[in-house]
């Protein structure tokens, strides 16, 4: 399943991926996982202790512009068109 994840935390890891997610923009991530939305939410919540957190499932790959370099390649590498 593909998820859109927004994390706002005072101590986020840098551009390195937090737990296998792709950072699209500061605090905005894509995650592909077999976990349920709840499992992913709680895993991120425990690991990063964010001030704000949103985890939303995506039915299809999102359309985007101006996001991090390599984002479309990341999606295509998982068999998803961007």
> What digits encode the pLDDT tens for the residues 11-63?
766 554 556 789 999 999 999 999 999 999 999 999 889 999 999 999 999 99
Residue 80 in any domain: the answer is no
Both tokens of residue 22?
């792709």
Domain-embedded: residue 11 = yes
Specify if 54 maps to a domain. yes
Query: Do the strands 2-8 and 52-58 form a parallel or antiparallel pair, or are they unpaired?
Result: antiparallel
Nearest Cα to Cα of residue 6 among 16, 14, 17, 24: 24
Residue 79 pLDDT grade (very low, low, confident, very high; cuts 50, 70, 90): confident
Predicted confidence (pLDDT) at residue 82 exceeds the cutoff of 60:
no
Closest CA to 37 of 58, 8, 20, 16: 58
Residue 55 falls within a domain, yes or no? yes
- Domain-embedded: residue 77: no
Residue 34: per-residue pLDDT: 94
Return d(Cα 21, Cα 35) in angstroms, integer: 13
Domain annotation covers residue 82: no
Q: What is the pTM of this model?
A: 0.87
For 45, the 3-state DSSP assignment is helix
What is the tally of structural domains in the chain? 1
Domain extent, residue 30, equals 2-70
């Amino acid at each position: 399943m593909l998820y859109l994840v927004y994390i706002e935390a005072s101590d986020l890891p840098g551009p390195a991926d937090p737990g296998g997610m792709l950072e699209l923009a500061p605090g905005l991530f894509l995650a592909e996982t077999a976990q349920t939305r709840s499992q992913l939410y709680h895993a991120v919540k425990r690991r990063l202790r964010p001030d704000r957190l949103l985890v939303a499932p995506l039915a299809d790959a999102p359309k985007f512009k101006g996001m991090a370099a390599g984002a479309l390649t990341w999606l295509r590498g998982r068999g998803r068109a961007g």
